[in-house]
Amino acid sequence: MTLASEVLAINNDLPIRTNQPVHNGKVRSVYWLTAADSHRLIAERSYDVPADTPLAIMVISDRISAFDCIWHGTEGMMGVPGKGAALNAIASHWFKLFKTRKLADNHILEIPHPLVWIVQKARPIKIEAIARQYITGSMWRDYAKGQRSFCGIPLPDGLEKNQQLPELLITPSTKGVLTGIPGVPEVDDVNITRENIERNYAAFNFSTPGDIDLYENLLKEGFTVISDALAQLDQIFVDTKFEFGYITDKAGREKLIYMDEVGTPDSSRIWDGAEYRRGHIIEKSKEAFRQRLLNHVPDPDILLNKSKMAERAALAKNNALPAQLLLETAETYLTMAEKITGHRPTLSSHPKQAIIETLRRHYQLIDE
């Protein structure tokens, strides 16, 4: 057995019974179950949802995406060993903590395998809900060029790179390309203001204007819960992205929930606290991989300049990264998962076969 065999790189070809196309994202693939299978599982597993709720199997891969490209390595390494299991474990841990603190529910109904969630259908809010506690990354680069307003929020002069901000900032951006909204460019991932959202709340999929306050409160509360927990581990929660959506509970009431993932090394920046106090930034998230990548490629501008996307895509496709770089990245993810959850994820020697066997034996969802 090799480490490469422990990597789940392709996750959209499992023989899970579905009558819809598989939705294949950068990291996760979603298999919508048939109405019959959804109804059966809700009854058999006693899920606390209406009987007609659509369910899906969400399978996370070990692929690693950075600068809008998927990267691979030498020695047959098509991803980062243990990355998917680490992300699922961390997100699940925070979701449970949110429930304990009575913040809001989430879309996960069951976790049958470390790489798999069974989820209920949610209606997503079309916003990348971003919260920032420190000025770094793209925000710092824009600030250093003179920008002082971010998503309609003014910042004072005199801030320094990697400094803690005066208060937690909410800097939302669009999720997907939204059309016909005044003042919002029709491109993915563009910054928006609170005023943009208030004036066009329905276009962003909010049910009521009051839910804008609710989403912001849940973002702040969730950020604080994770930040406080990480601080106890001497880790700094720098910034993060949450996603929200609506579900209908068993009583037929619509609820705003957390969805996708929260507080993971993919969706957040995390710094080592002790090193920060010494004046050093040690990344404990995907940002560490991004920095290694910038140092590895011959021309970092290809990765930073959005006008060079064709060159960037070719670079990612045609150049295998050193396997050691991916193994170092794996250690970042696995160590953080162990630190946060108390358990180091166990890697399966053949993850795809293990998922198929689990879904066949315990859920009867595999087409032979």
**Percent above pLDDT 90 for the chain:** 92
Q: Is the pLDDT of residue 109 over 90?
A: yes
pLDDT (tens digit per residue) in 299-311 = 999 999 989 999 9
Closest-CA residue to 160 (of 145, 146, 140): 140
pLDDT of residue 348: 83
Span 110-136, average pLDDT: 97
Specify burial of residue 54 (Cβ count, 10 A radius: 0-12, 13-18, 19+).
middle
Joined together, the tokens standing for residue 163 give 């400094």
Minimal CA–CA distance to 26: which of 267, 295, 191, 365?
267
Question: Which residue ranges form the domains of the chain, and what is each CATH number?
Answer: 3-122+341-363 (3.30.200.20), 125-277 (3.30.470.20)
Q: What is the pLDDT of residues 207-226, one digit of tens each?
A: 999 999 999 999 999 999 99
DSSP secondary structure code for residue 3 in this structure: G
CA distance 365 to 16: 6
Q: Using pLDDT thresholds of 50, 70 and 90, give the confidence band for residue 2.
A: low
Please, are residues 269 and 261 in contact by the beta-carbon 8 Å criterion? no
Residue 245: other Cβ atoms inside 10 A:
19
Q: pLDDT of 314-359, one tens digit each?
A: 999 999 999 999 999 999 999 999 999 999 998 888 999 999 999 9
How many CB atoms are located within 10 Å of the residue 310 CB? 9
Q: How far apart are CA 244 and CA 23, in angstroms?
A: 19
Residue 74: Cβ within 10 Å count = 14
Give the predicted TM-score (pTM) of the model: 0.95
> Tokens 């009521």 label which residue?
208
- Residue 139: enclosing H or E segment and its boundaries? helix 137-144
> What are the pLDDT digits (tens) for 31-47?
999 999 999 999 999 99
Query: For the packed helices 286-296 and 323-341, what is the interaxial angle rounded to 10 degrees?
Result: 160
**pLDDT digits 0-9 by tens, 281-304:** 999 999 999 999 999 999 999 999
